[in-house]
């Protein structure tokens, strides 16, 4: 089944590679992946849809959370979340079908972003199923070409972001004093 | 003008090259030696080392630098350090990194890289080390600017040693070694996304204690995590408090003294009958720092079918990965075990009587399994049985020597018949099973602990994978005692071909082995062959007493097989105890 994971990631070299590499190494199939900056330019938000055995869902998220550059990985599959995708669809259609195409587009809330005698380019957003239906429908009107963005998702819960505090670097001979206290503070009962 | 500069120096620290900064950071991390091999892009580093107290051990192949760093880390618990040049140097490290990854061994690997201006141009000896080692490390870095170097080095050490330990690689371009910046000691490491869970959940720990007393047939399984957490003492105390039969996995050996009355032996593919039947029969597994590897569980669906599981591990992703945990606790065993012991003790007065008789019966059952099929060495007076070799080594070691092993049949026999009274004596490539591991890891351990008796027990196959390091032993006065268990075969593969492929022996015969006296002699130390069981004790004694490295080639019965054996994918109660041949299992 498709699992949707939302990741907050440090914008560090190789961060994307670590995430995709983890998924391939563990034989999880990536359905889609989107990534862009957040309000904080040092961080990116990533939405990943993975095809994974439901039994392994937790495992995927735990592995993601282990990555040093991942600040937070959450499973949005079942929780209260909104997931959206964008599709850009070019349809070549005969003149007599233009009105019908526009009518269908309207029903799906799609916008016309380009129009020519050949046909239209339409832009639609929605959940994946709705877009599937839209694409299928448009196929009936002529040759189509489709580019989909992959899913972007946001949780409706107010999930607290828990970050690890700094630890002192060793001065000669002293090895990580206070490390465990810092780590303990970070746990704070989140994880059993 | 001059005043401004010195003023600047006072606030910003002295102007140092990247190479000097690196060495300064290593000193701050307490690194006293490093295993490596130089090359074009690391010459600036080696130039700085020329006038630095850091001891550099010149290995003969970078793979062995990584294994030696592991041997150092496994024997001491400190971070091991290895170093290689760009391109082939870096790629040669990879096996050692993956091996450290599988067994959670803290090492830091430093690799040179072509100058930043050349990266991406397919320059001479350029390799995408950062990309290649991404999945071979816990985390890796490429330093783009000398200003970031100190910070990254300390982050690398912190990541390697903390949490679930592992290998960390830092790729450093030549111009970063050569560039200069004002050095100021790093005072803080900030990795906001790196989560270490140490303490364990109090409520869960209390529930675990209750489960322990509720169990009629409790069974303790300790893994490599006991050793990594330096929690052998706490582990032993827990075992004694519960008074449960206890096994340790291959990597956990020494986590409790193998001579302890509660200790059964190792479970799994080549575990003892009693250890595996115990797993099959118990009603509670107290799993500490283990990851339910397939070599331990056999067929997962049939593994410990009657047991509930308490699983304590520092890595949340290990919980319920292979076997569902009925009661998970995420934390550092060093911190969690004392709390668990306290809770268990607190409940003792009220709970102890509850399952008392059931537990007495459980121990009776365990003892009878032990007596039914004990792990017994084969012996002979005409030829040396491999098991007998391990028993003789055990006699000399008395549970106190460091034993590094290679991979194969000898490794399993060593695990079965050599005792370890303490953790960090048994150096073994468990998860990756890398042939060639034995000799260089022994070398690293001997470097860390020069006064310790260190054996490298190798197969005649695997020994030849790390042969060039004989020179490193000699050059650095590392008196490792190399014991080659010479069966003339890639024995473990031969065993599988015999048992599961109708004895169609394909490319497993080694045909020749170099004369040990001549081979060792060529390097300037001593070696010999021993063939008779009657000569074996004296030969081992001579090897140990010899002032220098020693190569003892022990000719053993060629066709011996390791038993008991749970065939791959089999269940524990389907164990094969020995010849006659079992039915082939796919
Ligand atoms: C690098 C590497 N290559 C191949 C193997 C597969 N393998 C496992 S055990 C073994 C045989 C080892 O032979 P030897 O070193 O003589 O030890 P023995 O089993 O005879 O004790 C082989 C080839 C491995 N573990 N590691
Ligand atoms: Mg052999």
| 3-state secondary structure labels for all residues of B209-240 | HHHHHHCCCEEEEECHHHHHCCCHHHHHHHHH
Q: Does the structure show a pLDDT above 80 at B575?
A: yes
Minimum distance, in Å, between the CA of residue B236 and any CA atom of chain A: 23
How high is the pLDDT of residue A158? 84
Res. B584: pLDDT tops 70: no
The rounded Å distance from CA B458 to ligand 1 centre is 10
Q: State yes or no: pLDDT of B173 exceeds 90.
A: yes
pLDDT mean across residues, chain A: 88
- The predicted structure's pLDDT at residue B206: 98
| Whether B321 contacts chain A with CB within 8 A | yes
CA distances from A152 to A12, A34, A52, A80 (A): 21, 7, 18, 14
End-to-end Cα distance, chain A: 27
Q: How does pLDDT run across B110-129, given as a tens digit for each residue?
A: 999 999 999 999 999 999 99
- What whole-number distance in Å separates Cα of residue B372 and Cα of residue B368? 6
Which tokens in the block code for residue B101?
A: 């990854």
The answer to whether residues B388 and B304 touch, using CB atoms and an 8 Å cutoff, is no
Is pLDDT of A176 > 90?
Answer: no
What is the mean pLDDT of the segment spanning B238-264? 98
* Nearest residue in B to A187, CA atom: B197
Residue A185 confidence class, pLDDT cut points 50, 70, 90: very low
Cβ contacts (< 8 Å) between B140 and chain A: which residues?
14
B580: confidence class by pLDDT, cuts 50, 70, 90: low
How large is the average pLDDT for residues B393-412?
A: 98
Residue in A21, A59, A68 nearest the CB of B135: A21
Secondary structure in 3-state letters for A109-163: CCEEEEEECCEEEEEEEECHHHHHHHHHHHHCCCCEEEEECCCEEEECCCCCCCC
User: Are residues B134 and A191, on separate chains, in Cβ contact within 8 Å?
Assistant: no
Option in A10, A62, A67 nearest B316 (CB): A62
Chain A residues with CB-CB distance to B203 below 8 A? 192
Using a CB-CB distance cutoff of 8 angstroms, which residues of chain A are in contact with residue B163?
Answer: 183
State the nearest Cα–Cα gap between A27 and chain B, in angstroms. 14
Size of interface A-B (CB pairs under 8 A): 125
H or E stretch covering B167: strand B167-173
Question: CB under 6 Å to ligand 1: residues?
Answer: B 406-410, 433-436, 459-462, 485, 487, 489-493
Chain centroid offset of residue B148 CA: 32
Distance from the B250 Cα atom to the nearest Cα atom in chain A, whole angstroms: 24
Domains of chain A in sequence order: 1-78 (3.30.70.260), 82-152 (3.30.70.1150)
Q: What is the mean pLDDT of residues B190-210?
A: 96
Q: What proportion of chain B, given as a percentage, has pLDDT over 70?
A: 97
User: What b/e readout covers B218-251, taking b as 16+ CB neighbours within 10 angstroms?
Assistant: bbbbbbbbbbbbebbebbbbbbebbebbbbbbbb
Q: Give the pLDDT confidence of B469-507 residue by residue, as tens digits.
A: 999 999 999 999 999 999 999 999 999 999 999 999 999
d(CA B458, CA B527): 14
Residue of A nearest to B26 (CA): A172
The pLDDT, as a whole number, for residue A174 is 37
What residue has token string 């870096």?
B90
Q: Is B301 part of the contact surface with chain A (CB cutoff 8 Å)?
A: no
What lies within 8 Å, CB to CB, of B377 at 6+ separation is: B385, B387, B388, B390, B391, B417
Residue B234 pLDDT more than 60?
yes
- Which of A66, A166, A174 would you mutate first to test chain B, the one with the most B CBs within 10 A? A66
B311 — contact with chain A (CB < 8 Å)? Answer: no
Contact criterion met (CB < 8 Å) for B189 and A10: no
Confidence check: pLDDT of B568 > 60: yes
Find the largest Cα–Cα distance for chain B: 89
pLDDT at position B427: 98
How many other C-beta atoms lie within 10 A of the C-beta of residue B210? 14
Average pLDDT over chain B, rounded to an integer: 96
Contact B330, B164 (CB under 8 A): no
Chain A contact for B190, CB < 8 A? Answer: yes
Q: What separation in Å is there between the alpha carbon of B501 and the centre of ligand 2? A: 19
Residue A184 has pLDDT above 60, yes or no: no
Q: Span A19-28, mean pLDDT?
A: 93
pLDDT of amino acid A179: 40
Residue B11 is predicted with a pLDDT of 64
> Residue B162: helix, strand or coil by DSSP?
coil
Q: Whose CA is nearest to atom 20 of ligand 1?
A: B491
Q: Which amino acids of B are annotated catalytic?
A: 62, 124-125, 174, 492
CB neighbours of B579 closer than 8 A, spacing ≥ 6?
B561, B563
Instruction: Please determine, for residue A36, whether its predicted confidence score (pLDDT) is greater than 60.
Output: yes
Residues of A in contact with B328 (CB under 8 A): 192
Chain CA centroid to CA B342, Å? 30
Q: Ligand 2 center to residue B383 CA distance, Å?
A: 16
Chain-centroid distance, C-alpha B205: 28
CA B552 to chain CA mean position, Å = 24
Ligand 1 pocket test target in B490, B555, B557, B561 with most atoms within 8 Å of CB? B490
The predicted structure's pLDDT at residue B578: 86
**pLDDT per position as a tens digit, A58-95:** 999 999 999 999 999 999 999 899 999 999 999 999 99
Residues of A at the B interface, defined by Cβ within 8 angstroms: 9-10, 13-14, 17-18, 21-22, 25, 58-59, 62-63, 65-72, 162-173, 175-176, 179-180, 183-184, 186-187, 189, 191-192
Across the interface, which of A59, A70, A173 has its CB nearest the CB of B193? A70
Which residue puts its alpha carbon closest to atom 17 of ligand 1? B459
Ion ligand 2 neighbours (CB, 5 A) are B 459-461, 487, 489, 491
B-interface mutation test, from A170, A171, A175, A184, most B Cβ less than 10 A away: A170
The CA-based angle B295-B298-B300, given to 5 degrees, is: 120
What tens digit of pLDDT does each residue of B22-52 get?
Answer: 999 999 999 999 999 999 999 999 999 999 9
B532's tokens: 């008779």
Q: Would you place residue A159 in the very low, low, confident or very high pLDDT band (cuts 50, 70, 90)?
A: confident
- In angstroms, what CA-CA distances link B52 with A87, B43, B475? 61, 14, 20
User: Residue B244: helix, strand or coil by DSSP?
Assistant: coil
CA B79, distance to chain mean position in Å, is 13
What atom of ligand 1 comes closest to residue B407's alpha carbon?
A: 9
Residue B12's pLDDT band (cuts 50, 70, 90): confident
Average pLDDT over residues B171-193: 97
Is the pLDDT assigned to residue B539 strictly greater than 50? yes
Q: Are B287 and B314 in contact (CB under 8 A)?
A: no
Nearest Cβ partner for B142 among A13, A62, A180: A13
Q: Which ligand is nearest to the CA of B506?
A: 1
* Residue B411 confidence (pLDDT) above 50: yes
Q: Is the pLDDT of residue B185 over 80?
A: yes
User: A9 to chain B: which residues are within 8 Å by CB?
Assistant: 193
**Interface touch A62/B329, C-beta < 8 Å:** no
With beta carbons under 8 A apart, name residues in chain B contacting A163: 192-193
Taking the centre of ligand 2 as the mean of its atom positions, its distance from the CA of residue B31, in whole angstroms, is 36
Q: Is B329 on the interface with A (CB under 8 A)?
A: yes
- Note whether B134 contacts A65, CB cutoff 8 Å: no
Residue labelled with tokens 């079918």: B305
Atom of ligand 1 nearest to the CA of B510: 16
Question: Min CA distance, A98 vs chain B (Å)?
Answer: 50
Cβ–Cβ gap A63/B317 under 8 Å: yes
Question: Alpha-carbon distance B326 to B311, whole Å?
Answer: 8
Cβ proximity of A160 and A8 under 8 Å = no
- The ipTM value here is 0.91
Please list the alpha-helical segments (H only) found in B15-87. 18-28, 43-49, 62-76
Crossing angle between the packed helical segments B273-281 and B356-372, to the nearest 10 degrees: 150
Burial A92-116 (b: 16+ CB within 10 A, else e): ebeeeebeebeebbeebebeeeeee
> Which residue does chain B place closest to A171, by CA atoms?
B28
Residues A149, A154, A157, CA angle at the centre, nearest 5°? 170
In contact, B421 and B259? CB cutoff 8 Å: yes
Q: Choose which residue among B385, B405, B459 to substitute to test ligand 1 binding: the one with the highest number of ligand atoms within 8 A of its C-beta.
A: B459
Which region among A34-38, A122-126, A179-183, B281-285 has the lowest average model confidence (pLDDT)?
A179-183
The pLDDT score that the predictor gives to residue B583 is 44
Pick from A10, A170, A191: CB nearest B193: A10
- Residue A44, SS3 per DSSP: strand
The structure tokens listed for B174 are 């030549």
């Amino acid at each position: 089944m498709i699992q949707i994971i939302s990741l907050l990631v440090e914008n560090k070299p190789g961060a994307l590679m670590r995430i995709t590499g983890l998924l391939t190494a563990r034989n999880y199939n990536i359905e889609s992946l989107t990534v862009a900056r957040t309000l904080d330019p040092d961080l990116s938000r990533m939405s990943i849809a993975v095809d994974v055995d439901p039994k392994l869902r937790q495992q995927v998220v735990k592995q993601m959370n282990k990555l040093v550059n991942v600040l937070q990985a959450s499973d949005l599959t079942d929780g209260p979340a909104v997931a959206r995708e964008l599709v850009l669809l070019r349809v070549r259609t005969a003149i007599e079908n233009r009105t019908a195409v526009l009518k269908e587009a309207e029903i799906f809330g799609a916008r016309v972003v380009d129009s020519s005698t050949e046909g239209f380019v339409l832009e639609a957003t929605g959940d994946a199923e709705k877009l599937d239906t839209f694409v299928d429908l448009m196929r009936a009107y002529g040759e189509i070409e489709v580019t989909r963005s992959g899913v972007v998702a946001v949780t409706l819960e107010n999930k607290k972001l828990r970050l690890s505090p700094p630890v002192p670097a060793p001065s000669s001979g002293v090895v990580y004093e206070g490390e465990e206290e810092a780590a303990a503070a970070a746990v704070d009962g989140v994880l059993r | 003008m001059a005043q401004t500069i010195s003023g600047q120096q006072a606030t910003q620290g002295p102007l140092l090259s990247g190479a000097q900064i690196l060495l300064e950071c290593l000193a701050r991390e307490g690194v006293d030696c490093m295993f490596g091999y130089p090359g074009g892009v690391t010459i600036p580093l080696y130039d700085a080392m020329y006038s630095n107290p850091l001891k550099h051990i010149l290995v003969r192949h970078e793979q062995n630098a990584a294994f030696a760093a592991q041997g150092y880390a496994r024997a001491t618990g400190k971070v091991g350090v290895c170093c290689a040049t760009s391109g082939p140097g870096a790629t040669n490290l990879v096996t050692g990194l993956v091996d450290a990854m599988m067994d959670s061994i803290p090492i830091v690997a430093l690799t040179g890289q072509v100058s930043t201006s050349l990266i991406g141009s397919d320059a001479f000896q350029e390799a995408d080390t950062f990309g290649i080692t991404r999945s071979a490390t816990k985390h890796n870095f490429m330093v783009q600017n000398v200003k970031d170097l100190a910070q990254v080095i300390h982050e690398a050490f912190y990541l390697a040693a903390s949490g679930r330990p592992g290998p960390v690689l830092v790729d450093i371009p030549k111009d970063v070694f050569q560039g200069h910046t004002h050095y100021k000691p790093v005072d803080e490491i900030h990795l906001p996304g790196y989560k270490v869970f140490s303490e364990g959940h109090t409520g869960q720990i209390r529930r675990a204690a209750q489960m322990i007393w509720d169990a009629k047939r409790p069974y303790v399984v300790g893994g490599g995590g006991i050793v990594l957490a330096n929690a052998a003492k706490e582990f032993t105390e827990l075992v004694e408090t519960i008074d449960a039969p206890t096994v340790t996995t291959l990597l956990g050996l020494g986590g409790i003294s193998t001579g302890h009355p509660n200790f059964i032996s190792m479970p799994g593919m080549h575990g003892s009958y009693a250890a595996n039947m115990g797993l099959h029969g118990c009603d509670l597994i107290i799993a500490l720092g283990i990851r339910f590897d397939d070599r331990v569980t056999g067929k997962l669906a049939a593994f410990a079918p009657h047991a509930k599981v308490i699983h304590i591990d520092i890595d949340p992703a290990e919980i319920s990965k292979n076997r569902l945990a009925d009661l998970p606790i995420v934390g550092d065993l060093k911190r969690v075990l004392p709390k668990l012991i306290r809770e268990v003790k607190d409940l003792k007065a009220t709970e102890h009587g509850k399952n008392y008789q059931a537990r007495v019966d459980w121990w009776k059952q365990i003892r009878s399994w032990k007596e039914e099929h004990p792990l017994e060495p084969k012996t002979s007076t005409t030829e040396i049985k491999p098991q007998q070799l391990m028993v003789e080594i055990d006699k000399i070691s008395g549970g106190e020597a460091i034993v590094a092993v290679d991979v194969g049949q000898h490794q399993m026999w060593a695990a079965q018949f050599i005792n370890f009274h303490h953790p960090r004596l048994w150096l073994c490539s468990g998860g990756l099973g890398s042939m060639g591991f034995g000799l260089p890891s022994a070398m690293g351990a001997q470097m860390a602990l020069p006064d310790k008796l260190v054996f490298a027990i190798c197969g005649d196959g695997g020994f030849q994978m790390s042969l060039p390091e004989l020179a490193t032993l000699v050059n650095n006065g590392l008196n490792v005692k190399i014991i080659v268990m010479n069966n003339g075969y890639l024995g473990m593969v031969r065993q599988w071909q015999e048992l599961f492929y109708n004895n169609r022996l394909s490319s497993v015969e080694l045909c020749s082995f170099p004369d040990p006296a001549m081979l060792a002699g060529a390097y300037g130390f001593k070696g010999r062959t021993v063939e008779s069981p009657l000569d074996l004790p004296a030969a081992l004694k001579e090897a140990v007493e010899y002032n220098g490295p020693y190569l003892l080639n022990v000719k053993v019965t060629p066709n011996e097989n390791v038993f008991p054996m749970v065939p791959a994918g089999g269940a524990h109660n389907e164990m094969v105890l020995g010849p006659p041949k079992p039915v082939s299992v796919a």
